[in-house]
Structure 1
Amino acid sequence: MRLSTVILPIRRWDEGQKIWRRAEDLGFHSAYTYDHLSWRTFRDGPWFGAVPTLTAAAGVTDRLRLGTLVTSPNFRHPVTLAKELISLDDISGGRVTLGVGAGGTGFDATALGQEPWTPRERADRLAEFVPLLDRLLTEDAVSYEGDFYSAHEARNIPGCVQRPRLPFAVAATGPRGMHLAARYGQAWVTTGDPRLYENGTPEQSVAALRGQSEKLADACAAIGRDVSALDKILLTGFTPDRGRPLTSLDAFVDFAGRHRELGFTDIVVHWPVPGSDFAADQKVFEQIAMEAPGQVG
């Protein structure tokens, strides 16, 4: 099982770059950041752009994979996003993964002046967003007219360093998102069942994740794809366990082992942010980063 981290884009770069370097030194497989305009309790504090942050991170690291968890149609357009991703993939030497999902009703949903979309409207846009982005990242020139997005002779030469394109990690729990993950994803991302966050139990969460994994397998089978071809990523911090897995090495190994048995290939933990929902002891966190992957297997 691989261990990765999310580094929130809340620090000026003279401080932030030290964390990205440290993430590589600790041996994390990937380091992601959230692609938002602002987010939750951090809304009134510093929050920097995801693509510039990842570009800067590419310049201070050599091995660490970099990515978004997740990019959404809330304020992104496939044509401009594709150009940025191809540039980032080139600058990083082919170390970029795009986490992509439908987005939510948070601050990004209204920042451009629109009313927040319903879950169905978000799913409708994602169903057009992902296939168009796939084309833009694999074809030299693309023209397209859809219900929500258009492209007119959009050129993306020379394309991605990673071929045929950089990998997609598709965040999904519903049937339409699972279909996109099965069809276009190199990985699937989940945070668990949000309905269990407040009052659920870890056992209920494991059962819900097992059910989600089975739905992904069904979606893959429906198009003749082997579900084992997809990595399965669990973004932690949103299950009933919350921050407990980061309280000790043993607690994390137990948590990761239970989810490895469900078929998860990657666990993603938040880099500690004091005074927030992601507060954790930095020394314990670094011990987990260095020792847990070898114990989980």
Structure 2
Amino acid sequence: MTHTDILLPQIVSRDEWLVERKKHLAHEKELTRQIDALYAERRRLPMVAVDKPYLFSGPEGSASLLDLFGGRRQLVVYHFMFDPHDPPEGRSGAPWDEGCPGCSFVADSIPHLAHLHARETSLVLVSRAPWNKIAPFKARMGWTVPWYSSFDSDFNYDFHVTLDEAKSSLEWNYRSAQELKQAGKIPDEKGELPGLSVFLRNGERVFHTYSTYARGLEVLLGAYHYLDLTPFGRGEGWGGMPDLGGQGQNWLRHHDRYEIGRTPEGCCHARASLA
């Protein structure tokens, strides 16, 4: 799609624009009230004790799930897609040789952690790739957020972000992997997928309070929220948006790859985001 093919908004007078803007403002306010109610409902969800002793590895060696809290009461874990294995024959790029571009988009959106720490909340990334694979990619991206490997534990399987029938991890986004694969929502019934999980600490006890996947992760994407304010939106060719560049959702790249003209490697984040 060229710039001349994009349908632009109607041109009206300032007074006519103001009438339409106030109508839209009423809808925005209603949505805000609905979101406030949804968030209150989320805070009232029950929680489940986490009794399994998970072990992670990071720059300072081994760490437990309790260690990831950093002494704070709450912990947010972003499950970052980064496969520990070499790519299958005929495949390359993410999420085997480097971290997933979609998950990298999430990491680029992380705020200064001081704001979360002030609210008794820690945020970490967790991937199944080993630490010696994570470290150079993290340095390349310039991120400072804590990142740990869960390779030697069942953590990814238990929280349904690594699909593997042998590990009895057969669902993602609260639907079976077989169903999602048949619907074209995920590329394979085995492998890494994105997600987010929240934990609460009460003394030395840890509880799981929330997990979300697919479009539930969009709340983390600050760039999307800016784009959603514009006439072109995300430019992905759905929901009435133009398809800028003709790439649909596959426009996304690592932040150091836009200038070199490289076609993005599609892991599964684009399809998974609409699952």
Which TM bucket (shorter chain)? under 0.3
> TM (normalized to structure 2)?
0.22
> TM (normalized to structure 1)?
0.21
Larger Cα Rg: Structure 1 or Structure 2? Answer: 2
